[in-house]
Amino acid sequence: MRGRIQGEKSRSAAGAGRREKEEIMAIREVREIGDDILTKKCKDVPKMTLRTKILIGDMLETMYDKCGVGLAAPQVGVLKKIVVIDVGEGPIVLINPEIIETSGEQTGEEGCLSVPGKWGIVTRPEHVKVRALNQEMEPFEMEGEGLLARAFCHEIDHLYGQLYVDKAEDGLHDVTYEQDEEEETEE
Ligand code: NI
């Protein structure tokens, strides 16, 4: 998922997690809308392997490189239930995630690294609780609200072949950066 569609301010915070990583990771190609793989359902991850560890590292690196706040494995061409998220509070890795509780409602802008240059208005729950496995394959639960709740929903949708574009309430809009840049130079 892309966050802060009309602004760049969260980007540097989102990059912080990357610098802490010492392993060498690779940026993978992000599949774009129209690619069949984005419409397919993912399989559970049965056990942690070196290959999966490398995939997770690459997913984080790719997300930070593209200034995203979330990325799901099918977006890099792998049909496994793995999601990475960083809404500016550090990296979160969810393996085989499920949404187990939702409440409230939020309506706001959403974008996706697989739908470059576009955003749409999507209504999501305000609070979301997920259950998942961590990288040690230990179960945990995590609650999110606001942007994190939105990221949980958006990324888990990817694991079921769903894109936000089908939920966008007013169609898709083009991202414009000009307004932001003007504001920054005038200040
Ligand atoms: Ni997305």
* pLDDT tens, residue by residue, 115-149: 999 999 999 999 999 999 999 999 999 999 999 99
- pLDDT category at 25 given cuts 50, 70, 90 is confident
| Percent of the chain surpassing pLDDT 70 | 83
Ligand 1 midpoint to CA 28 (Å) = 15
Q: How far is it, in rounded angstroms, from Cα 6 to Cα 121?
A: 13
Task: Tell me how far the alpha carbon of residue 46 lies from the centroid of ligand 1, in angstroms.
Answer: 24
Helix (H, G, I), strand (E, B) or coil at 122: strand
What is the full DSSP assignment across 135-169? TTS-EEEEEEETHHHHHHHHHHHHTTT--GGGT-B
pLDDT at residue 13 in the model: 47
User: What pLDDT was estimated at residue 10?
Assistant: 46
Q: What pLDDT is stored for residue 8 in this prediction?
A: 44
Ligand 1 mean position, distance from CA 181 (Å): 25
DSSP E strands: which ranges in 31-138?
Answer: 70-72, 82-85, 92-103, 106-110, 118-124, 127-133
pLDDT of res. 64: 96
Give the mean pLDDT of 151-162.
98
Q: Looking at residue 176, what is its pLDDT?
A: 87
Residue 1 — very low, low, confident or very high, per pLDDT cuts 50/70/90?
Answer: confident
Q: List all residues 6 or more positions away from 125 whose beta carbon is below 8 Å from its beta carbon.
A: 102, 103, 104, 105, 106, 149, 153
Instruction: Report d(CA 134, CA 152) in Å as an integer.
Output: 15
- Catalytic residue, chosen from 98, 126, 143, 155, is 155
Fold of the domain spanning 22-177: Peptide Deformylase (3.90.45)
- Model's pTM, two decimal places? 0.85
Cα distances (Å, whole numbers) of residue 91 to 6, 23, 40, 66, 170: 22, 15, 25, 15, 31
Per-domain residue ranges of the chain: 22-177
pLDDT tens by residue, 93-106: 999 999 999 999 99
Asked if 155 is an active-site residue, the reply is yes
* Separation of CA 119 and ligand 1 centre (Å): 11
Question: Token digits for 31?
Answer: 């599949």
Asked if 134 and 140 count as a contact pair (C-beta separation under 8 A), the reply is yes
Distance CA 143, CA 106 (A): 16
Q: Indicate if the pLDDT at residue 80 is higher than 80.
A: yes
